[in-house]
Amino acid sequence: MVDAAAQAVIEEERPAAPMRTETFRQTRPDIVGPDAPELPFPIVLSGTVQHGFGRGGKDLGCPTANLPDDSITPMSSVTKTGVYYGYAQISPERDGQIMLPEKDRGVMPMVMSLGWNPFYKNERMTAEIHLMHDFDADFYGHEMNALVLGYIRPELDYTSRESLVEDIETDKQVALKSLSRPAYEKFKSDLIFDTTQSKL
Q: How far apart are CA 115 and CA 109, in angstroms?
A: 20
CA distances from 57 to 130, 165, 185 (A): 10, 11, 27
Residue (of 160, 116, 162, 109) closest to 134 by Cα position: 109
Active-site residue, selected from the candidate residues 38, 93, 102, 128 = 128
128 is a catalytic site residue: yes
What amino acid positions are annotated as catalytic residues?
Answer: 128
